Amino acid sequence: MATSATDYHGQTSYDRHKLDGHFPDWANKPNLCKKYPNLKTVPLHHEGIPDEKLSQVIGKKEMAKNSGSVSLKQLCQIFSLAYPLTVKSHYPGGEFLHRSVPSAGGLFPCELYATLENVPDLDDGLYHYSVDQHSLVQLRGGKFLGYDVMTSHSEASGKESRPLMSFFITAIFFRSAWKYRDRSYRYHLLDTGHLLENLLLPLKALGLRFEIHYDFDDSKANHFLGLDSQKEVCLAMVRVLGNQTSPKASAENIEDLPETCQNASQVSPKEIQYPELWKIHSATSLVRPSPDPPQDMISQTGRVPDSWEKIPQPEKWPREMSYAQSVLTRRSLRNFADQTLSESHFKALLAMLCAGDRHDAFQENSVCMGFIAGNVENIEPGSYWVDRAESSVGLIRAGNWISSMTHICLDQDWLARAAVHFFFAVNLEALEQTWGPRGYRYAMLTAGRLGQRLYLGATAMGLGCCGIGAFYDQEASALSDLNPESRMLYLLGAGQVKKQF
């Protein structure tokens, strides 16, 4: 039984000599679009955002003042760029709907909900976003933004500001578990991080002030959303702040939604329950009072570089798509060409990854970022740590380790042609000592968010990017010079590609 993140991560690790065969039940493949029959649906228009470069949106500073209102057009813009369908691929027997965020195995466990008030031409209430129909399905009618699903230990900033709207991101367990079984909770969190970053970018682009919340009362949030919490759970929350204040209200008196709403969390007729998923989710449900975060997670995770080198912003940014175009054309491209990644491209990717965010400065200390340089202009081949706060890199071990890491990542040959591998790692014991098991959510969500930045940054500059969540865990840790308590969480390859979409 996984009673801690350390236990869970160890129990779901891949071992080259113990990996058992598993073949998904194709007759029982989960539905990838959640449906609520016979509920009011509000179609949304597809709305773009004025041309801004992705680098400008990522680097935007927080608005000094809260917003007074949100228009229906702005709401349409948010949903049009947060979680849109991008491309339809047809295959014998059906079609596949690509989205603006990556997902392990293309299984898209995440769903998006919003509590809305005072939006012109839209009734107040709780809504589910129907991604395949680009519409909102009303689950509750009335004003709910004053209801409090936070814990007594949740972040204190801005709690007196009444939100203009609140967003909730959930994950449906069986979608990813259908293929990845007990290991799938890792992908639930990474995929939630992808979607969370994609949601924050249109809020930044529109100049809306917001708060990210990883700490909330799980049971209250799940009840409010009307979920079957054995099948679907809330993993992240975002509140767009208004310029008025109001006292908190309790969420305990909110009525149950009809059973048909809870039934919508079931996405396959014969769902298999994986007890380890529920056990690790339950273990991470407790929110600790805010401790002091570790001052230097890198020193607790692996070898410390002898020296650090500041990486300046590129003097001239490479040719870059608009932010909206980057989102709508993002694909997981892995047809890498055996070409050198230019210094300007590499610096631009690092600049996007290191862009500051006061919204989660506390939790972002939960994970370390590094890279393996193989074929990058003016960068010595080797394994490096990245100090995001200082925009600096430090060499851990010299040598071209791209092929070795490819072998560790289940010998997926395309990864060997990537110019650089970015990776995220953490000391699991230090993580739990600081935040308890919930810290595992912080680390995986942050890794997913930064992974999405890398995907979009690569897309904006005409590069390829593809993430890997499947690797032989202990071998990956050894190659990255991590200490025994530390593990790699996520890896993404990036570089020039042979064909651009």
pLDDT digits (tens, 9 = 90+) for 323-353: 999 999 999 999 999 999 999 999 999 999 9
As a residue count, the chain comes to 501
Residue 93: what pLDDT?
72
Residue 88: what pLDDT?
84
pLDDT digits (tens, 9 = 90+) for 483-493: 999 999 999 99
On the question of pLDDT at 379 being above 90, the answer is yes
pLDDT digits (tens, 9 = 90+) for 411-449: 999 999 999 999 999 999 999 998 999 999 999 999 999
What percent of the chain has a predicted confidence (pLDDT) above 70? 91
Residue 154: what pLDDT?
52
CB contact burial 408-435 (16+ within 10 A = b; e otherwise):
bbeeeeebbbbbbbbbbbbbbbbbbebb
Residue 285: what pLDDT?
94
Residue 20: what pLDDT?
77
The residue out of 257, 283, 309 marking a domain boundary is 283
On the question of pLDDT at 92 being above 90, the answer is no
Q: Is residue 14 part of a domain?
A: no
Q: Which domain holds residue 350?
A: 297-495
Q: Is residue 140 part of a domain?
A: yes
pLDDT level of residue 60 (50, 70, 90 thresholds): confident
380 and 487 in one domain?
yes
Mean per-residue pLDDT for 52-71? 80
pLDDT digits (tens, 9 = 90+) for 266-304: 999 999 999 889 899 999 998 887 666 666 889 999 999
- Strands (DSSP E) found in 25-99: 41-43, 85-91, 94-99
User: Cα–Cα distance between 190 and 101 in angstroms, integer?
Assistant: 11
pLDDT level of residue 158 (50, 70, 90 thresholds): very low
Residue 65: what pLDDT?
60
319 and 260 in one domain?
no
Highest mean pLDDT (candidates 53-57, 93-97, 373-377)? 373-377
Residue 156: what pLDDT?
46
Q: Is residue 24 part of a domain?
A: no
Q: Is residue 95 part of a domain?
A: yes
Q: Is residue 42 part of a domain?
A: yes
Residue 157: what pLDDT?
45
pLDDT digits (tens, 9 = 90+) for 174-211: 999 999 999 999 999 999 999 999 999 999 999 999 99
DSSP letters for 406-472: HHHTTT-GGGGG-SEEEEEEEEHHHHHHHHGGGHHHHHHHHHHHHHHHHHHHHHHTT-EEEEE--SB
- Two tokens at 90? 């047809």
User: Cα–Cα distance between 129 and 82 in angstroms, integer?
Assistant: 11
Number of neighbours of residue 445 by Cβ within 10 angstroms: 28
How do 94-99 and 85-91 pair as beta strands?
antiparallel
User: Cα–Cα distance between 322 and 22 in angstroms, integer?
Assistant: 42
Mean per-residue pLDDT for 96-116? 95
426 and 338 in one domain?
yes
Q: Is residue 288 part of a domain?
A: no
Residue 50: what pLDDT?
74
**DSSP annotation of 360:** G
310 and 279 in one domain?
no
Q: Is residue 392 part of a domain?
A: yes
Angle at 283 between CA 433 and CA 126, to 5 degrees: 115
317 and 255 in one domain?
no
257 and 344 in one domain?
no
- Two tokens at 114? 């919003």
442 and 326 in one domain?
yes
Residue 501: what pLDDT?
42
On the question of pLDDT at 251 being above 60, the answer is no
Residue 248: what pLDDT?
57
276 and 307 in one domain?
no
Report which of residues 288 and 250 the model is more confident about: 288
262 and 190 in one domain?
yes
pLDDT level of residue 250 (50, 70, 90 thresholds): low
Residue 62: what pLDDT?
67
Bridge partner list, 68:
none
On the question of pLDDT at 36 being above 70, the answer is yes
User: Cα–Cα distance between 248 and 467 in angstroms, integer?
Assistant: 41
Q: Is residue 434 part of a domain?
A: yes
356 and 243 in one domain?
no
CATH number (domain holding residue 465): 3.40.109.10
Residue 246: what pLDDT?
64
The residue out of 283, 313, 343 marking a domain boundary is 283
The residue out of 217, 248, 283 marking a domain boundary is 283
Decide: 292 and 361 in contact? Cβ < 8 Å.
Answer: no
Residue 220: what pLDDT?
94
- Two tokens at 347? 């610096």
Q: Indicate left, alpha or beta for 49 from its phi (over 0: left) and psi (-120 to 50: alpha).
A: beta
Query: Which of these, 404, 101, 147, lies nearest to 253 by C-alpha position?
Result: 147
309 and 447 in one domain?
yes
pLDDT level of residue 320 (50, 70, 90 thresholds): confident
**What total of structural domains would you count in the chain?**
2
Residue 361: what pLDDT?
53
The CA-atom distances, in angstroms, between 474 and each of 332, 431, 471 are 26, 18, 9
- Strands (DSSP E) found in 263-413: 309-310, 368-373, 382-387, 392-398
On the question of pLDDT at 168 being above 80, the answer is yes
271 and 342 in one domain?
no
Decide: 99 and 269 in contact? Cβ < 8 Å.
Answer: no
